[in-house]
Amino acid sequence: MEERFAAQLKLAELPRNSSKTRVRNRCEVTGRPRGYYRKLKMSRIALRELASQGLIPGMTKSSW
């Protein structure tokens, strides 16, 4: 019990934002937290806008 209590005290000393689970991926263009593509570091909405404007090389609009 004493070891557990000592471990809890040690964890309580850490800053709240040092927890890895609190880190949230956000779009670098808009700051949107949802619909995030890790490879491109942007949200699906920002990706679609930039692709429509022709600012992403190699990406074309799909049509069938």
For the chain, domain boundaries: 2-52
Closest CA to 59 of 36, 37, 50: 50
The arithmetic mean of pLDDT across residues 28-57, rounded, is 94
Question: In angstroms, rounded to a whole number, what is the distance separating the alpha carbons of residues 21 and 24?
Answer: 8
Helices (H), the chain: 2-13, 44-52
Per the CB < 8 A criterion, the answer to whether 60 and 48 are in contact is no
pLDDT value of residue 21: 82
Contact 59, 44 (CB under 8 A): no
Query: What mean pLDDT is reported for the chain?
Result: 90
pLDDT at 17 over 90: no
At the second CATH level, the architecture of 2-52 is: Orthogonal Bundle (1.10)
pTM value is 0.64
Length of the chain equals 64
- Confidence band for 14, pLDDT divided at 50, 70 and 90: confident
